[in-house]
Amino acid sequence: MEQIWAFVLMHKIETLLLGFGVIVLAFVITHWQEVKFWWLNFTYNFPVIGKLSRLAKDIEGFDENHKWFYSEERLCRDYYNFYEKVDVDDESYDEAKDYLHAAGELGRKPTPTFIWIMIFVLVIVEAFGFAYVLAGFTIPGASEATQQKGAIGVAAMLAILLVWLTHLTGQELHKNTLIKKIRRWYKNDNAGGHNWRDLKPDEKLITIDNTFDDKDSPNYIRMLNRLDVNDRVQATYTKTILTIAFIIAVAVGATYIRHQVLVQEIASSHESAMNIFNDDASPFGDTAGDDADMGALFGDAGADDAKDDLSSLFGGEESTSPSTPSKNSASIEDETNQKGGDATFMILGLLFVFIQILGIFFGMHYDFAGRESKEAYTLLRGFSTKKAFLSYYERAKTHIARIAQRQLQKLQHKMNIINDNMGTDAETTALLRNNKDRTFKKYLEFEDK
């Protein structure tokens, strides 16, 4: 763990970028409609190349039937796409609630932002854990810095893929739970002698708008009408099997690579120790140089006597350095390190598997299996009373309409300025200046017809 933490500290910038990316991604996932509306305003207001600037240049395209300029219609249509999503009434509340109830998903919620953040934080931890292990194997022959960056990229992709697979698996298991419930209810109904039809959905597609069309059908048929199932109405485990196989492969592979890295580190430590021991084995340095020096000083015969004296003084050729551990003690230490490291890697492997199970658990308990269940939940916004529901959407409609009208006025102002600079015909000038009836409110009246 300390080595992984040191690896993270070596890549502070990458860690900060990943952390920032996690927060942004979690926010985008859970606030997608708000992000899309913000992006629409941004693209319209961007200087020079924004949509307002580009649409303002089209002062000749005019719709004779609608009596609007094409550029004005384009702007209003872009904002109307968001307006119609919040243009609801009390009947919409009843339809959305009935759809979720019939699908067996009333009370479920999409994955909260803090859950996504927690999942992606675990992904970052996994990514750096994998990156530390893979650092020496991703790009053989490259520099250490390049290998580490390559390892981070591969590990991040691997972790994100695992998040996606585990979430899909959780959703598949949740859908299978609903299918099993349908089959159990159908079997019980058949046992009671009330089965009047085969187990299959109605031919008519049931949506939020016509959710009450099958209100007289049994509950299991209503639930079946809102799910995409196979022709046998049976649970499937394709995604689950694929995810489990992938998790096992990654867990076993990562553990094996960690084991090989540990073996390599132990071998490297022995090699370093032997090099140091060989360098320091003789108290007088290089023995060949010592023999030459002694020969010059004492003569050949005197040199041999001097060597014998020195050998007796330092314990002879068979003596070993007190600081050098015996082979037996080194072997025991290596075996201990090997067993401890392998046990640690086993625990890390189990922790990795547990994190994936946690991702599957979140997938099972959040999000929806019904075709339009997510849209129904988004429409309800979690309001428990119809009054709060209508009050919220009235404010939302007013907000979008005001922004759309403001943008339309900016466009009309820019179009008049361009017309004055270009000097078009009098009819076009009159149409551009007479824009009191071309408002977003009037456009809504035109769309509602």
* Nearest partner of 419 among 431, 407, 405, 408, judged by Cα: 431
Average confidence score pLDDT of the chain: 78
Name which of 37-46, 125-134, 270-279 the model is least confident about: 270-279
The rounded percent of the chain whose pLDDT value lies above 90 is 29
Which residues contact residue 241 at a Cβ distance below 8 angstroms, ignoring those fewer than 6 apart?
Answer: none
The pLDDT, as a whole number, for residue 141 is 56
Please tell me what DSSP assigns to residue 286.
-
Least confident of 9-18, 135-144, 290-299, 396-405: 290-299
Look at residue 317 and tell me whether its pLDDT is greater than 70: no
- Taking alpha carbons only, the member of 220, 245, 239, 230 closest to residue 173 is 239
At residue 29, the pLDDT reads 73
Q: How many CA atoms, within 13 angstroms, populate the side-chain half-sphere of residue 49?
A: 0
Is-contact 132 4, C-beta < 8 A?
yes
Most confident by average pLDDT, 224-238, 283-297, 303-317, 346-360: 224-238
pLDDT digits (tens, 9 = 90+) for 192-214: 665 556 788 888 899 999 999 99
For the chain, what are the domain ranges? Answer: 2-29+57-253+364-448, 273-352
Q: Mean pLDDT over residues 61-67, rounded?
A: 82
Query: Is 153 or 48 the better-scoring residue by pLDDT?
Result: 48
In the predicted structure, residue 322 carries a pLDDT above the cut 60: no
Q: Please identify which residue in the block is written with the tokens 């960056």.
A: 149
pLDDT at position 10: 64
Most confident of 5-9, 320-324, 409-413: 409-413
pLDDT at 310: 46
Q: Is the pLDDT of residue 48 over 50?
A: yes
The larger pLDDT score, comparing residue 11 to residue 297, is at 11
Predicted pLDDT of residue 255: 77
Pair 259, 225: CB distance under 8 Å: no
Q: Which has the closest alpha carbon to 235: 169, 164, 165, 188?
A: 169
H/E element, 412: helix 386-422
Tell me the pLDDT tens digit for each residue of 216-246: 888 999 999 999 998 888 999 999 999 999 8
pLDDT(43) > 90: yes
Q: For helices 238-279 and 327-365, give the axis angle rounded to 10 degrees.
A: 160
Give the integer Cα–Cα distance in Å for 10 and 4.
Answer: 10
Q: What is the mean pLDDT of residues 381-391?
A: 86
If one compares 37 and 351, the residue with the highest pLDDT of the two is 37
The region that residue 226 occupies, defined by phi over 0 for left and psi between -120 and 50 for alpha, beta otherwise, is: alpha
Q: According to the model, what pLDDT value does residue 320 have?
A: 46
**From CA 125, how far away is CA 122, in angstroms rounded?**
5
**E-assigned strands of 226-272?**
none
| Per-residue pLDDT, 321 | 47
86-133 pLDDT per residue, tens: 888 889 999 999 999 999 998 888 888 788 778 777 776 776 666 666
139-161: per-residue pLDDT in tens?
555 566 666 666 677 777 777 88
